[in-house]
Chains A and B, each alone.
Chain A
Amino acid sequence: MSFLASFRTFVSSLFRRSEMEREMEEELRAHIEERAADLERTGMSKAEAERQARIEFGGYQRFKEECREVSGTHFLEALLQDLRFGLRMLRKSPGFTAAAILTLALGIGTNTAIFSYVDAWLIKPLPYPQAEKLMVFLSHDKKKGWTNHSVTSTADFLDFQHLNTSFAQTAAWAGWNFNLTGDGPPAFVEGGRVSWNYFETLGAKPILGRTFTAEEDKPGGGHVAVLGQGLWQSRFASDPRIVGRTIKIDDETYTVVGVMPGTFQFPLMGIANLWTPMALNDKETADRNSSWFSAFGRLKPGIAQTKAAAESEAIFARLEKEYPQTNTNVTSQVSSMIEEIGKNEGTTEVMICFWIVALILLIACANVANLMLVRATRRVKEFAVRRALGATRGRLTRQVLCESLLLFLFGGVAGTLFGAWGMNWIQSAIPDHVRGYLVNYGEVNLDFTTLGFTLGIALLCGLVFGLAPAFEGSRADLNTPLKESSGQASESGRGARLRKIFVGAEIALAVVVLICTTLLVRSFLISVRSSPGFNPANVTVAQLQLPKTRYRQEETMRNFTEQALERIRALPQVVSAGAASSVPFGGFGQVVLIAAVDKPVPKPEERRGARFTAASADYFSAMQIGLIKGRRFTSEDAPGNPPSAIINQTLARQMWPNEDPIGQKIQYGEQHNIATIVGIVTDIKMYQLRERPERQMYVSLTQFPSPKLGFVARTAGHSTKMETAIRDEIWAVDRDQPVSAVEPLDTLIMVTDAANRVLTKLMVFFGVIATFLGAIGIYGVMAHQVQQRTHEIGIRVALGASPVQVVRMVLGQGMKLTGIGVVVGIAAALGAARSLASLLYSVTPNDPETFTGVALVFGLVAAAAGYLPARRAMRVDPVVALRHE
Chain B
Amino acid sequence: MDNQAQILPGTLDLLILKAVSLGPLHGYGVLLRIGQISRGALLVEQGALYPALYRLVRQGLLKARWGVSDNNRRAKFYELTAGGRKRLREEEDGWNRLAAAMGSALKARPEEV
Residues of A within 8 A of B57 (CB): 71
Whether the Cβ atoms of A59 and B47 lie closer than 8 Å is: yes
Residues of B within 8 A of A34 (CB): 26, 28, 69, 71, 73, 75
Contact of A67 among B26, B31, B54 (CB under 8 A): B54
Per-residue interface assignment for chain A, residues 81 to 114, with 1 indicating a CB less than 8 Å from any chain B CB and 0 otherwise: 0000000000000000000000000000000000
Per-residue interface assignment for chain B, residues 55 to 71, with 1 indicating a CB less than 8 Å from any chain A CB and 0 otherwise: 10110000000000101
Per the bound structure, the CA–CA distance linking A33 and B48 in Å amounts to 17
Whether the Cβ atoms of A71 and B54 lie closer than 8 Å is: yes
Residues of B within 8 A of A23 (CB): 76
Per-residue interface assignment for chain B, residues 38 to 59, with 1 indicating a CB less than 8 Å from any chain A CB and 0 otherwise: 0000000111101100110110
Per the bound structure, the CA–CA distance linking A536 and B104 in Å amounts to 110
Whether the Cβ atoms of A37 and B58 lie closer than 8 Å is: no
Whether the Cβ atoms of B69 and A31 lie closer than 8 Å is: no
Known: A34-B28, A35-B28, A58-B46. A27 touches B51 (CB 8 A): no
Contact of B76 among A27, A57, A64 (CB under 8 A): A27
Residues of B within 8 A of A26 (CB): 74, 76
Known: A30-B73, A59-B47, A63-B48. A71 touches B28 (CB 8 A): no
Known: A30-B69, A34-B73, A72-B58. A56 touches B51 (CB 8 A): no
Whether the Cβ atoms of B58 and A70 lie closer than 8 Å is: yes
B27 within 8 Å of A (CB atoms): yes
Whether the Cβ atoms of A57 and B46 lie closer than 8 Å is: yes
Q: Which of A32-69 contact B (CB under 8 A)?
A: 33-35, 37, 56-60, 62-64, 66-67, 69
Residues of B within 8 A of A27 (CB): 26-27, 50, 75-76
Known: A37-B71, A67-B50. A31 touches B58 (CB 8 A): no
Contact of A31 among B27, B45, B51, B54 (CB under 8 A): B27
The chain B residue sitting closest to A72, CB to CB, is B58
Whether the Cβ atoms of B58 and A63 lie closer than 8 Å is: no
Residues of B within 8 A of A63 (CB): 47-48, 50-51
Whether the Cβ atoms of B73 and A56 lie closer than 8 Å is: no
Known: A27-B27, A30-B69. A58 touches B45 (CB 8 A): yes
Interface bracket on A: 20 to 34
The chain A residue sitting closest to B56, CB to CB, is A70
Per the bound structure, the CA–CA distance linking A67 and B52 in Å amounts to 8
Whether the Cβ atoms of A28 and B50 lie closer than 8 Å is: yes
Whether the Cβ atoms of A70 and B74 lie closer than 8 Å is: no
Residues of A within 8 A of B50 (CB): 24, 27-28, 31, 63-64, 66-67
Whether the Cβ atoms of B75 and A30 lie closer than 8 Å is: yes
Residues of A within 8 A of B28 (CB): 30-31, 34-35
Expressed in whole angstroms, the minimum distance between the Cβ of B74 and any Cβ of chain A is 7
Per the bound structure, the CA–CA distance linking A23 and B75 in Å amounts to 10
Contact of B47 among A57, A70, A71 (CB under 8 A): A57
Max chain A Cβ within 10 angstroms of own Cβ: one of B31, B54, B71, B73: B54
Residues of B within 8 A of A37 (CB): 71
Contact of A56 among B26, B46, B54 (CB under 8 A): B46
Q: Which of A398-421 contact B (CB under 8 A)?
A: none
Whether the Cβ atoms of B58 and A35 lie closer than 8 Å is: no
Residues of A within 8 A of B58 (CB): 70-72
Per the bound structure, the CA–CA distance linking A40 and B28 in Å amounts to 15
Known: A27-B76, A30-B28, A30-B75. A35 touches B46 (CB 8 A): yes
Per the bound structure, the CA–CA distance linking A203 and B74 in Å amounts to 75
Interface of B is mostly: helix
Residues of B within 8 A of A28 (CB): 27, 47, 50
Q: Which of B54-112 contact A (CB under 8 A)?
A: 54-55, 57-58, 69, 71, 73-76
Per the bound structure, the CA–CA distance linking A66 and B50 in Å amounts to 8
Expressed in whole angstroms, the minimum distance between the Cβ of B42 and any Cβ of chain A is 15
Residues of A within 8 A of B31 (CB): 31
Max chain B Cβ within 10 angstroms of own Cβ: one of A37, A70, A71: A70
Expressed in whole angstroms, the minimum distance between the Cβ of B40 and any Cβ of chain A is 14
Q: Which of A1-41 contact B (CB under 8 A)?
A: 23-24, 26-28, 30-31, 33-35, 37
Per the bound structure, the CA–CA distance linking A35 and B73 in Å amounts to 12
Per the bound structure, the CA–CA distance linking A60 and B46 in Å amounts to 10
The chain B residue sitting closest to A55, CB to CB, is B46
Expressed in whole angstroms, the minimum distance between the Cβ of B89 and any Cβ of chain A is 23
Whether the Cβ atoms of A60 and B47 lie closer than 8 Å is: yes
Residues of B within 8 A of A60 (CB): 47
Residues of B within 8 A of A30 (CB): 26-28, 69, 73-76
Residues of A within 8 A of B76 (CB): 23, 26-27, 30
Expressed in whole angstroms, the minimum distance between the Cβ of A610 and any Cβ of chain B is 88
Per-residue interface assignment for chain B, residues 1 to 45, with 1 indicating a CB less than 8 Å from any chain A CB and 0 otherwise: 000000000000000000000000011100100000000000001
Residues of B within 8 A of A67 (CB): 50-51, 54
Per the bound structure, the CA–CA distance linking A64 and B50 in Å amounts to 8
Whether the Cβ atoms of B73 and A70 lie closer than 8 Å is: no
Per the bound structure, the CA–CA distance linking A146 and B73 in Å amounts to 97
Residues of A within 8 A of B26 (CB): 27, 30-31, 34
Max chain A Cβ within 10 angstroms of own Cβ: one of B57, B74, B76: B76
The chain A residue sitting closest to B53, CB to CB, is A67
Expressed in whole angstroms, the minimum distance between the Cβ of A564 and any Cβ of chain B is 95
The chain B residue sitting closest to A63, CB to CB, is B47
Expressed in whole angstroms, the minimum distance between the Cβ of B59 and any Cβ of chain A is 9
The chain B residue sitting closest to A69, CB to CB, is B51
The chain A residue sitting closest to B76, CB to CB, is A27
The chain A residue sitting closest to B27, CB to CB, is A31
Whether the Cβ atoms of B71 and A31 lie closer than 8 Å is: no
Max chain A Cβ within 10 angstroms of own Cβ: one of B31, B46, B47: B47
Per the bound structure, the CA–CA distance linking A23 and B51 in Å amounts to 14
Whether the Cβ atoms of B46 and A33 lie closer than 8 Å is: no
Per the bound structure, the CA–CA distance linking A64 and B49 in Å amounts to 11
Residues of B within 8 A of A70 (CB): 51, 54-55, 58
Per the bound structure, the CA–CA distance linking A422 and B39 in Å amounts to 81
Expressed in whole angstroms, the minimum distance between the Cβ of A666 and any Cβ of chain B is 97
Residues of B within 8 A of A59 (CB): 47
Residues of A within 8 A of B74 (CB): 26, 30
Expressed in whole angstroms, the minimum distance between the Cβ of B77 and any Cβ of chain A is 10
The chain A residue sitting closest to B55, CB to CB, is A70
Per the bound structure, the CA–CA distance linking A103 and B13 in Å amounts to 54
Expressed in whole angstroms, the minimum distance between the Cβ of B32 and any Cβ of chain A is 8
Max chain B Cβ within 10 angstroms of own Cβ: one of A27, A28, A66, A71: A27
Residues of A within 8 A of B51 (CB): 63, 66-67, 69-70
The chain B residue sitting closest to A70, CB to CB, is B55
Residues of B within 8 A of A72 (CB): 58
The chain B residue sitting closest to A26, CB to CB, is B74
Max chain B Cβ within 10 angstroms of own Cβ: one of A35, A37, A63, A64: A63
Residues of A within 8 A of B54 (CB): 66-67, 70-71
Expressed in whole angstroms, the minimum distance between the Cβ of B51 and any Cβ of chain A is 4
Whether the Cβ atoms of B73 and A33 lie closer than 8 Å is: yes
Max chain A Cβ within 10 angstroms of own Cβ: one of B51, B55, B71: B51
Whether the Cβ atoms of B46 and A31 lie closer than 8 Å is: yes
The chain B residue sitting closest to A65, CB to CB, is B51
Per the bound structure, the CA–CA distance linking A63 and B49 in Å amounts to 9
Residues of A within 8 A of B55 (CB): 70-71
Expressed in whole angstroms, the minimum distance between the Cβ of B31 and any Cβ of chain A is 8
Whether the Cβ atoms of B48 and A58 lie closer than 8 Å is: yes
Residues of B within 8 A of A58 (CB): 45-48
Expressed in whole angstroms, the minimum distance between the Cβ of A23 and any Cβ of chain B is 7
Per the bound structure, the CA–CA distance linking A67 and B49 in Å amounts to 10
Per the bound structure, the CA–CA distance linking A56 and B1 in Å amounts to 14
The chain B residue sitting closest to A68, CB to CB, is B54
Question: Could you list 13 examples of A-B contacts with CB < 8 Å?
Answer: A24-B50, A28-B27, A30-B27, A30-B74, A31-B27, A34-B28, A34-B75, A37-B71, A57-B46, A63-B51, A66-B54, A67-B50, A70-B58
Closest 4 A-B residue pairs measured CB to CB?
A: A66-B51, A58-B47, A63-B47, A70-B55
Inter-chain pairs besides A26-B74, A30-B69, 5 sampled, C-beta below 8 Å: A34-B26, A34-B71, A60-B47, A64-B50, A70-B54
Residues in chain B within 8 A of chain A (CB atoms): 26-28, 31, 45-48, 50-51, 54-55, 57-58, 69, 71, 73-76
